[in-house]
Amino acid sequence: MSILVTGGAGFIGSNFVLDWLAQSDEPVVNLDALTYAGNLRNLASLQGDARHVFVQGDICDRALVDRLLATHRPRAIVHFAAESHVDRSIHGPGAFMRTNIDGTFTLLEAARGFWSTLEGADKAAFRFHHVSTDEVYGSLSPAAPAFTETHPYEPNSPYSASKAASDHLVRAWHHTYGMPVVTTNCSNNYGPYHFPEKLIPLMIVNALAGKPLPVYGDGQQVRDWLYVKDHCSAIRAVLERGRLGETYNVGGWNEQANIDIVKIVCALLDELRPDPAGPYARLITYVTDRPGHDRRYAIDARKIERELGWRPAETFASGIRKTVEWYLARGDWVAEVQSGSYRDWVAQNYGGRATGA
Ligand code: NAD
Ligand code: DAU
């Protein structure tokens, strides 16, 4: 028995693989193209571990996916691989359409072909778990109730539109072909191995370097933050016990405005690594807003709690402290990431933005 994970060298995927192999001996075949976001250093502790089979390759490569399925005969596919950064999708949407839509289509077709060769208990047990996002639901007004699984799809960015399209494909493959799928729509994750172009790791890394902390617009956009290991436990619960064809929203019951997140990170750094030059919050710099910036996301995670008994284990206070401590201890990881294409990205995304209130 094994599972096939796609995108297992990225932020959430690598946390999932590490947690999976810490809790079970069931092997993981990890298919990842190693884009800028894929980092095998995240999985360094698995070097020489026969339970982890890493394959560098593209989910759009049907022949490769067919070969992997035929060779390893996994009991499930957990599909993380995606282009995941909203700002990058605004600068260059093409890669998002290719990986998130064509890639999911290719995987679904390969999985359908493999699943149709299975029989009896193996066929009944097979699962295709699609990992998706709350962004497919669009933006909430301040007083609106949180997203439930029946909220209309109203994606607003090229990223969220491509993820919405992939969700629709997964749904259609269940309804038309009877494919045994489950989908999770999760809120913003944070934690170890988070690529430092996303809000929380960017703020930690920039603060430690004495660089500006760029807050888009007025900083009052609200996100619902979940510690990444809680996302991983939710995926395991849905994979094992979720009802076929269902979607489950996953969130941290933790809505926060961006500016408050940045101030919390600054206060933790003031405590754990004080800067002789003064409080880190002095580095906060308001910059031009993200085009089409969604104002608020909030997840109603009652369905997964009611049906599967899942709730996040971390509070935001405990999770963000662990996260800041992790980045303080892992300057080596940050330095390696920064020596790569990360630097070009900073120039591309922030170079053209005006600063000011
Ligand atoms: P990430 O960008 O950190 O990692 C994506 C991984 O996919 C990388 O390792 C990359 O190399 C790989 N990849 C990209 N294109 C590929 C291709 N064509 N073939 C094979 N591999 C490819 O992303 P993440 O933040 O870990 O997100 C993982 C999944 O979870 C995504 O599907 C994302 O939409 C979803 N999600 C993310 C969040 C979040 O807060 N980060 C929240 C909810 C849902
Ligand atoms: O909601 C789930 C989504 O969360 C996932 O589907 C995405 O893959 C993931 O990247 C994340 O998307 P966001 O756009 O919410 O994350 P990001 O870290 O890019 O930004 C978080 C908020 O912080 C957002 O409102 C934009 C703002 N921001 C971000 C950056 C990078 C800033 O104010 N300044 C910044 O420099």
Q: Collect the ranges in the chain with pLDDT lower than 70.
A: 341-350, 354-357
- Going by C-alpha positions, the residue among 198, 189, 215 that lies closest to residue 319 is 189
Active-site position among 58, 83, 135, 230: 135
In a domain, 241, yes or no: yes
Global model pTM greater than 0.85: yes
Instruction: Answer yes or no: 327 catalytic.
Output: no
226: exposed, middle or buried (Cβ count in 10 Å: 0-12, 13-18, 19+): buried
In a domain, 31, yes or no: yes
User: Quick one: pLDDT at residue 45?
Assistant: 94
**Under 8 Å between Cβ of 296 and 210:** no
Ordered DSSP codes for 232-264? HHHHHHHHHHPPTT-EEEE--S-EEEHHHHHHH
The number of domains in the chain is 1
d(CA 66, CA 31): 12
In a domain, 265, yes or no: no
User: Quick one: pLDDT at residue 92?
Assistant: 98
User: Quick one: pLDDT at residue 284?
Assistant: 98
d(CA 133, CA 250): 9
Taking the CA of 226 as reference, the closest ligand is 1
d(CA 119, CA 257): 50
Count the alpha carbons within 13 Å of 75 in the hemisphere toward its beta carbon. 11
User: Quick one: pLDDT at residue 356?
Assistant: 55
Residue 75's CATH number: 3.40.50.720
In a domain, 322, yes or no: no
Element (H, E) at 299: none
User: Quick one: pLDDT at residue 355?
Assistant: 63
- Residues 32-77: tens digit of each pLDDT: 999 999 999 999 899 899 999 999 999 999 999 999 999 999 999 9
Residues near ligand 2 (Cβ within 6 A): 84-86, 133-135, 187-188, 198-199, 202, 214-216, 221, 223, 258, 290, 297
In a domain, 186, yes or no: yes
In a domain, 159, yes or no: yes
**Start-to-end CA span in the chain (Å):** 55
In a domain, 93, yes or no: yes
Domain that holds residue 21: 3-190+227-251+296-313
User: Quick one: pLDDT at residue 340?
Assistant: 73
**Under 8 Å between Cβ of 71 and 63:** no
User: Quick one: pLDDT at residue 50?
Assistant: 96
Residue whose CB lies within 8 A of the most ligand 2 atoms, among 130, 198, 262, for a mutation test: 198
Residue whose CB lies within 8 A of the most ligand 1 atoms, among 11, 41, 200, 226, for a mutation test: 11
Active-site position among 32, 58, 134, 167: 134
In a domain, 105, yes or no: yes
Instruction: Answer yes or no: 135 catalytic.
Output: yes
Element (H, E) at 52: strand 52-56
Closest atom of ligand 2 to 186 CA is: 2
List the structure tokens of 87: 């700002």
Q: Whose CA is nearest to atom 12 of ligand 1?
A: 7
Residue whose CB lies within 8 A of the most ligand 2 atoms, among 89, 160, 188, for a mutation test: 188
- Residues 218-274: tens digit of each pLDDT: 999 999 999 999 999 999 999 999 999 999 999 999 999 999 999 999 999 999 999
Q: Using the mean position of ligand 1's atoms as its centre, give its distance from the Cα of residue 82 in Å.
A: 4
**Amino acid letter at 63?**
A
Closest atom of ligand 1 to 163 CA is: 34
